[in-house]
Amino acid sequence: MLIVYVGEALSYNCIGVAFQRLGARDPRLYRAAIEYHNKHCEIADLPGKFIANVNLGIVHSALGENEKAAAYQQTALKLALQISSVAGQTIAIGNLGRIGGVGMVSDRGRLRAFVERYLALAGEMKHRKGEAEARIQLGRLEEESVRNPGMMTRRGSSGRARRISRGRDRSRGRPATKARRTRPRCAGAWPTRR
């Protein structure tokens, strides 16, 4: 019986994602995606509920319903904490940062805490692109705080993000690394030039 529910949950997820992708062309299809993601969430186990909540947050964000999107991403974050998934926490927190990036989340202090947690998790996972995205988001929050002086500030985030993305980050004792062309690990060699 459990196998049936797992298969059914997976089917709802796949159909929801399909409608979600089609919604980019026809926004009316986002409502169908929400319906299937809700069905997925109803019968899924904890990791499935995490995925369903992340997808519901993404769909609501695409519809411009950022408060609902943030609520779903926060639920996904709670589920990721319950299942002890660092990668899941990173996904949920990163999505919260993106939702806040469009200027619709009302609690900026809380958003800053989410983005700083995402930065820490991305650093733990050595996810350089995620680390750069978090620093860019912190830089945007800082820029907004200049316009609104009542906000807390954190200096240097966007500048460091640019250095990371360009491969020139020398802070914290990390050498700047560039992609080097090395011999592949699989059998065979680089193709010869003629």
What is the CB-side half-sphere exposure of residue 128 using CA atoms within 13 A? 13
**Residues whose CB is less than 8 angstroms from the CB of residue 124 and which lie 6 or more positions away in sequence, other chains included:** 86
Locate tokens 């009302």: which residue?
Answer: 106
- How many helices and strands in the chain, by DSSP H and E? 8, 0
- 1-80 placed in CATH 1.25.40.10: yes
* Residue spans per domain, the chain: 1-80, 107-167
User: How do the pLDDT tens digits run along the chain, 194 residues long?
Assistant: 445 577 888 999 999 999 999 998 999 999 999 999 999 999 999 999 999 999 999 999 999 998 899 899 989 989 998 998 888 888 888 888 777 654 444 567 777 777 788 788 888 878 788 788 888 878 877 877 777 665 443 444 445 555 555 555 555 545 444 444 444 444 444 444 44
Written as six digits, the tokens of 30 are: 């986002």
